[in-house]
Amino acid sequence: MKLINKKICMGKDIGVHGNVFGGILMSWIDEAAAAFATEYCCTPNMVTLKVGELLFKRPLKVGNHIRLYGDVAHLGKTSIILNIEARKYNVYSGEETVVCVTSITFVRIDEDGYPTPIGETVRNKYHAGLETPVFN
Would you state the pLDDT for residue 134?
43
Query: Is 92 within the bounds of a domain?
Result: yes
Q: How far apart are CA 12 and CA 120, in angstroms?
A: 43
Q: Tell me how many domains the chain contains.
A: 1
132 part of a folded domain? no
Mean pLDDT computed over every residue of the chain: 93
135 located within any domain: no
Segment holding 127, helix H or strand E: helix 120-127
113 within a domain of the structure (yes/no): yes
Q: Containing domain of residue 85, as a range?
A: 2-127
CATH number at residue 69: 3.10.129.10
Select from 99, 80, 87, 76 the least CA-distant residue to 33.
80
pLDDT at 135 over 70: no
Say what the pTM is. Answer: 0.89
